[in-house]
Amino acid sequence: MKIGILTSGGDAPGMNAAIRSAVRQAGALDIEVYGIWRGYQGLVDQDWRPLTSRSVANILQRGGTMLNTARCQAFRLPAVRTQVAKDLRDAGIDGLVVIGGDGSFTGAGLLFEEHGVPCIGIPGTIDNDLPGTDRTLGFDTALNTAIDAVDRIRDTAISHDRVFLVEVMGRRSGMIAVHTAVACGAEAVLYPESGEDTYEALVAQLRAGWERGKRSSIVIVAEGDKNGSAYAVGDRLTRDYHLDLRVVVLGHIQRGGSPTANDRILGSLWGAEAIKLLAAGEKGVYLGMKAGEMVHVPFARVHDPRPAPPAELTNLLPVLAR
């Protein structure tokens, strides 16, 4: 049996752990693995080569992805997918492990539905926004990176009695924002799932903090928040209240760095499981974790509503910010 493996979309710490585990589990089952470079673009270009246990040595602790990644527009075209399915058949590749987020799983789902190519997905995105799983690879590392940054910002915020708006990633999801806010003791958080206009509520929260004697505040802003970017919210607060605030956009710092223990272990579990599933004839699902148990989620579920940040965290934040 020959299996191809690719990483697609935004890279995430823990992807390398999954690649390593898949290759070594395949070796234990006498399955050949082909690494496909630059995600779906590598499928289109037939940019693949064999991976051995030695090819994946010393990658467990590294961020990024040794297979490189891309956001491939061409793969959206049905004719391109037809050609890819034929190329895979001609090369004798019997199945694919796809590591990525919702866009990557949409592609894998189509390849499976339209052409019967056996595909197993491994959730890899710092955004932690996939239906059917409590966790995705990279989320824990990104969160810890954001926490470290906000703790540093807190030192200077306190020293200057300042308000800081810190923008975190997450695309349309508030998962990173809400978890960072609780873990850093932020005074407030703006995130997309909370509704259209939360500006007045933010002002009320900051004012209440001031009245309780708080002289500095940290507001975490999800990049997808409906009020706009941290800079937009900052401009509005400065205009309306003449606050001497500062804005920090954490950006791609959140995507890099050595994966945490959680992401290494999750990647290792999922990489091996994906190979075992393909070997057993399973296809058309992505892996997940629900309440600590490994689950298999049909690709079609990737179109379900994104999971929202847990209400127990969003309700707790204003209590802890007193």
- Contact set with ligand F6P (CB under 6 A): 10, 101, 125-127, 169-171, 223, 255
Nearer to ligand F6P, 127 or 225 (CB): 127
Q: Which of 94, 102, 127, 129 is catalytic?
A: 127
What residues contact residue 25 under an 8 Å CB cut-off, 6+ apart? 271, 272, 275, 276
Nearer to ligand F6P, 94 or 193 (CB): 193
Please say whether the dihedral angle defined by the alpha carbons of residues 71, 73, 76 and 79, taken in this order, is positive or negative.
Answer: negative
94 annotated active-site: no
Nearer to ligand F6P, 38 or 255 (CB): 255
Nearer to ligand F6P, 171 or 306 (CB): 171
Cα-based distances in Å from 246 to 213, 216, 219, 237: 20, 11, 10, 11
State the minimum distance, in angstroms, from the CB of residue 254 to ligand F6P.
7
State the minimum distance, in angstroms, from the CB of residue 267 to ligand F6P.
16
State the minimum distance, in angstroms, from the CB of residue 115 to ligand F6P.
26
d(CA 228, CA 225): 6
d(CA 163, CA 106): 41
- Name the CA dihedral angle for 257, 57, 96, 29, rounded to a multiple of 10 degrees: -140
Rg (CA), the chain: 21
For the record, the structure tokens of 205 come out as 């929260």
d(CA 252, CA 2): 35
Nearer to ligand F6P, 19 or 146 (CB): 146
Burial class (CB in 10 A: 0-12, 13-18, 19+), 38: buried
Beta bridge partners of 222: 168
State the minimum distance, in angstroms, from the CB of residue 17 to ligand F6P.
18
State the minimum distance, in angstroms, from the CB of residue 80 to ligand F6P.
21
Nearer to ligand F6P, 96 or 126 (CB): 126
- How many DSSP H helices and E strands does the chain contain? 10, 11
d(CA 220, CA 226): 14
Task: Report phi then psi at 177, rounded to 5.
Answer: -60, -50
State the minimum distance, in angstroms, from the CB of residue 232 to ligand F6P.
16
Q: Which residues belong to the active site?
A: 127
